[in-house]
Amino acid sequence: MGVFDDHKLEQLDWMTQMTETIDSDLNAILARLPDRVVISAEDIIENSSSSYLSLSVRQVLQNILKKSGHKTTLAWEEERCLDKCFAFELVGDVELDLRCDRLSGKVTLVKVVQTLSDEELLPLMGRRGIDAVGRIRDYGTDVSIERLNEILDILGNCSEDMKNRSAKKKLQRIKGRLEEIFKTNEWRIRDMALADKVGHWVRSYIVSGCLSDLVNLTKLKVMTHNNMPIYSVKEEQ
């Protein structure tokens, strides 16, 4: 078993390997969400305030996920992508009578998209990890310029940014470079969870100098030279 073996890729069927399909938990979440949800008067009232009534796809989905015990924090872009998979269906004259909390007509949230395509998933790759990198104010005043430069060096195409003395601009470039890598599929990472880990490795190394995170990032960069899609990295703990 080699240090740079991609065990997940080896376990995939040949068709998935050939097409380099993105493996994403968003599709797993979408599959678990019900195809139809009948909206009650209580649902609308619960999501409203004393001054206005409100009902949105996101509110309904968040309530369903919360009740199901889902604990993963989704990026805003991921939530928006799931929102687009659903639409409200109205039957009859829909009216909410607040005097008796009664809803006339019928409101149903309907799943209109069953599976997210690779084209829809690609812009979301690594989004949670990039969000985790955060802003320079999250790192305090003693952020290591040396570690920032090490990350920039690994990410590549950042030689001019390494010369810059501003930690803020270096961190901005790190986030921008990560976005470039994922949106253009430059590193051919095809697993959403792995893509998200990259940003967490970056932040952890900048904050604490954790060598295992630096090794994991370096391993991933080395694997990009294999001219193969990447689904997993044998991580150092």
H/E stretch holding 37 reads strand 36-39
With cut-offs at 50, 70 and 90, classify the pLDDT of residue 38: very high
For 160-170, how does the pLDDT look when each residue is reduced to its tens digit (9 = 90+)? Answer: 999 999 999 99
Identify whether 164 is part of a domain. yes
What's the confidence (pLDDT) of residue 53? 79
Give burial (CB, 10 Å; 0-12/13-18/19+) of 49: exposed
Half-sphere exposure of 237 (CA within 13 A, CB side): 0
CA 138 to chain centre: 20
Based on the domain organization, do 95 and 158 belong to the same domain?
no
Give burial (CB, 10 Å; 0-12/13-18/19+) of 131: middle
- Per the structure, the count of domains in the chain is 2
For 113-123, how does the pLDDT look when each residue is reduced to its tens digit (9 = 90+)? Answer: 999 999 999 99
pLDDT, mean of residues 217-235: 95
The residues near 107 (Cβ < 8 Å, ≥ 6 apart) are: 38, 39, 55, 88, 89, 90, 91, 94
Q: Where are the beta strands (DSSP E) in 77-180?
A: 86-97, 102-111
Based on the domain organization, do 105 and 125 belong to the same domain?
no
Based on the domain organization, do 144 and 209 belong to the same domain?
yes
What's the confidence (pLDDT) of residue 4? 85
pTM (two decimals): 0.88
Buried b (16+ CB within 10 A) or exposed e, 56-92: ebeebbbeebeeeeeeeebbeebbebbeebbeeeeee
What is the token pair recorded at 228?
């193969």
Cβ–Cβ under 8 Å, residues 128 and 74: yes
pLDDT, mean of residues 79-88: 97
What's the confidence (pLDDT) of residue 223? 96
Based on the domain organization, do 128 and 11 belong to the same domain?
yes
* Range(s) of the domain holding residue 187: 7-24+119-226
What's the confidence (pLDDT) of residue 51? 67
